[in-house]
């Protein structure tokens, strides 16, 4: 046995020989024998053990790390050697076998153990493939991936009630990145078709915890395309979503069958409604939208619950958005912009539109938001030199993961989630 290389549990099961380092996920004492569940990165597997090693196994605590050697016959394990490498305490702050996301405070504060749960290991594997296939799609369409900044003198002011976080950098106040929108426009001037897998930080209002879909630290697939129209990037986003869903349903078939067997590939083109049409429809359902503002959380959720497939909402009021969208040419009270709402209550996953590139108009919009122009100096300097017309969007990776796997809470989709109002967390 000693000459055999350490094997993953999945491979050991195929070979019938165990020489493995694994975690004790669970131990069940049943009469003269013991059932142990061993766990490694390939999954958790149950074995029946009897004989001389049962006494040792009965004393081992869950989440201990062991080296096990032996032979397998069906699910019976004949142990030849057992070594305890790490002995976990008897009482753990959270049950790794079944972390309960309903208890959001315990779940997030002990996320360093939640990540060990087989359920959430599966979630993160699916998310890995979502990232992989999104990159594959965009690269095949000629887009170039760039590394995103994490601090800047200025970041997105259009955060719908969230607060930007600031830090001192060589005596100057910088902001932690809440959106890479300005960097997307700057990058599109050089490479024309670009994307970031951008990490963003925002201090969301505490009440947003109840929406189940707000994180304070999140990942956004940010895409920008020089000289493209709003319609161009909406079509691109539809193709991206369909491509990723098809690939995930094939690559992660067993996990999708376990979590979301009813996951559908939506047909193209996705349905579209203007903002005013949606506001009027929601009013008929008893949901009032404040004049010139985004849809309320309650209204958007009700709309999403009624949908059977994705819906584009287009042409939001200028007063409801940040300074970076260009107004409609024939109706300048509205933007050339959009949100994508997913069905079954999952809500918005994409925000985007055509960008304002004229320096005088950018200055006007920044002033209208009550923001000081000097904070945006680098971007205004760039715009005065010239940036191209462009269009783009941001796809929320955690929100999309939640939709794909039919998860109840957004904090189930991040390995170390930061959620509104709960601190300290890893």
Identify whether residues 137 and 169 lie together within a single domain. yes
Residue 94 within any structural domain of the chain = no
Q: How far is residue 401's CA from residue 386's CA, in Å, rounded to a whole number?
A: 37
Dig out the tokens for 309 from the structure: 């497939």
pLDDT tens per residue across span 16-40:
999 999 999 999 988 889 999 999 9
pLDDT band at 159 (very low <50, low <70, confident <90, very high): low
pLDDT tens per residue across span 364-377:
999 988 888 999 99
Report the phi/psi class of residue 32: left, alpha or beta, with left for phi > 0 and alpha for psi in -120 to 50. alpha
Residue 97 within any structural domain of the chain = no
Q: What percent of the chain has pLDDT over 90?
A: 89
Average pLDDT for 278-295: 95
What's the pLDDT at 371? Answer: 86
Identify whether residues 54 and 113 lie together within a single domain. no
pLDDT band at 424 (very low <50, low <70, confident <90, very high): very high
The values of phi and psi at residue 278, to 5°, are -65, -45
Identify whether residues 202 and 322 lie together within a single domain. yes
Identify whether residues 312 and 385 lie together within a single domain. yes
- For tokens 């887009």, name the residue: 143
Dig out the tokens for 7 from the structure: 């094997």
Identify whether residues 20 and 49 lie together within a single domain. yes
Q: Is the dihedral of CA 134, 136, 142, 148 positive or negative?
A: positive
Residue 95 within any structural domain of the chain = no
| Residue 201 · residue 230 · CB < 8 Å | no
| Residue 132 · residue 139 · CB < 8 Å | no
Identify whether residues 298 and 331 lie together within a single domain. yes
> How many distinct structural domains can be found in the chain?
2
Identify whether residues 19 and 117 lie together within a single domain. no
The values of phi and psi at residue 406, to 5°, are 55, 45
Identify whether residues 158 and 229 lie together within a single domain. yes
Q: How far is residue 155's CA from residue 199's CA, in Å, rounded to a whole number?
A: 13
Residue 387 within any structural domain of the chain = yes
What's the pLDDT at 71? Answer: 94
pLDDT at 2 over 60: no
Residue 423 within any structural domain of the chain = no
Identify whether residues 61 and 182 lie together within a single domain. no
Beta carbons within 8 Å of 319's beta carbon, 6+ residues apart: 292, 293, 333
What's the pLDDT at 51? Answer: 87
Identify whether residues 356 and 280 lie together within a single domain. yes
Q: How far is residue 237's CA from residue 311's CA, in Å, rounded to a whole number?
A: 12
Query: What CATH number did the domain enclosing 403 receive?
Result: 3.30.930.10
CA–chain centroid gap for 19, Å, is: 36
pLDDT tens per residue across span 129-152:
999 999 999 999 999 999 999 999
Identify whether residues 254 and 354 lie together within a single domain. yes
Residue 27 within any structural domain of the chain = yes
Question: Mean pLDDT, the chain, as a whole number?
Answer: 95
Rounded to a whole number, what is the distance in angstroms from the first to the last CA of the chain? Answer: 40
Q: Is the peptide bond before 269 cis (omega within 30 degrees of 0)?
A: yes
Cβ-in-10-Å burial (0-12, 13-18, 19+) of 90 comes to exposed
Q: Note down the domain range covering 281.
A: 104-412
DSSP state of 322: -
185, 222, 184: which is closest to 200 by C-alpha?
A: 222
Q: How far is residue 286's CA from residue 328's CA, in Å, rounded to a whole number?
A: 29
pTM: 0.95
Identify whether residues 149 and 67 lie together within a single domain. no
């Amino acid at each position: 046995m000693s000459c055999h290389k350490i094997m993953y549990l999945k491979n050991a099961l195929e070979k019938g020989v165990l020489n493995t380092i694994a975690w004790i996920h669970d131990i069940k004492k049943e009469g003269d024998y013991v059932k142990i569940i061993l766990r490694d990165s390939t999954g958790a597997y149950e074995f029946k053990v009897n004989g001389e090693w049962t006494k040792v196994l009965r004393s081992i605590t869950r989440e201990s790390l062991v080296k096990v050697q032996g032979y397998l016959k069906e699910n019976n394990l004949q142990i030849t050697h057992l070594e305890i490498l790490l002995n976990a305490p008897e009482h753990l702050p959270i049950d790794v076998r079944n972390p309960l996301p309903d208890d959001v405070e315990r779940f997030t504060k002990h996320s360093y153990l939640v990540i060990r749960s087989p359920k959430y290991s599966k979630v993160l594997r699916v998310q890995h493939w979502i990232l992989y296939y999104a990159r594959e799609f965009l690269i095949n369409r000629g887009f170039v991936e760039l590394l995103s900044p994490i601090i800047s003198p200025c970041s997105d002011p259009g955060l719908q009630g969230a607060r930007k976080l600031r830090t001192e950098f060589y005596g100057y106040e910088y902001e932690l990145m809440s959106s890479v929108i300005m960097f997307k426009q700057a990058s599109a001037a050089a490479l024309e078709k670009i994307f970031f897998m951008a990490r963003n930080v925002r201090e969301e209002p505490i009440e947003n915890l109840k929406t189940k879909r707000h994180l304070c630290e999140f990942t956004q697939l940010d895409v920008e395309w020089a000289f493209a129209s709003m319609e161009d990037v909406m079509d691109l986003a539809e193709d991206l979503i369909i491509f990723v869903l098809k690939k995930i349903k094939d690559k992660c078939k067993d996990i999708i069958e376990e979590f979301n067997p009813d996951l559908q590939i939506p047909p193209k083109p996705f349905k579209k409604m203007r903002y005013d049409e949606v506001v009027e429809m929601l009013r008929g359902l008893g949901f009032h939208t404040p004049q010139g503002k985004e849809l309320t959380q309650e209204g958007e959720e009700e709309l999403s619950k009624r949908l059977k497939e994705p819906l584009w909402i287009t042409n939001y009021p200028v007063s409801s958005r940040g300074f970076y969208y260009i107004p409609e040419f024939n109706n300048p009270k509205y933007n050339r912009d959009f949100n994508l709402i997913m069905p079954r209550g999952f809500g918005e996953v994409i925000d985007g539109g055509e960008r304002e590139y004229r320096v005088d108009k950018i200055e006007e919009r920044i002033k209208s938001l009550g923001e000081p122009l000097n904070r945006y100096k680098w971007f205004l300097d760039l715009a005065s030199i010239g940036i191209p017309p462009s269009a783009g969007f941001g796809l929320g990776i955690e929100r999309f993961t939640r939709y794909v796997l039919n998860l109840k809470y957004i904090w189930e989709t991040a390995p170390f989630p930061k959620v509104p109002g709960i601190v300290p967390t890893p």
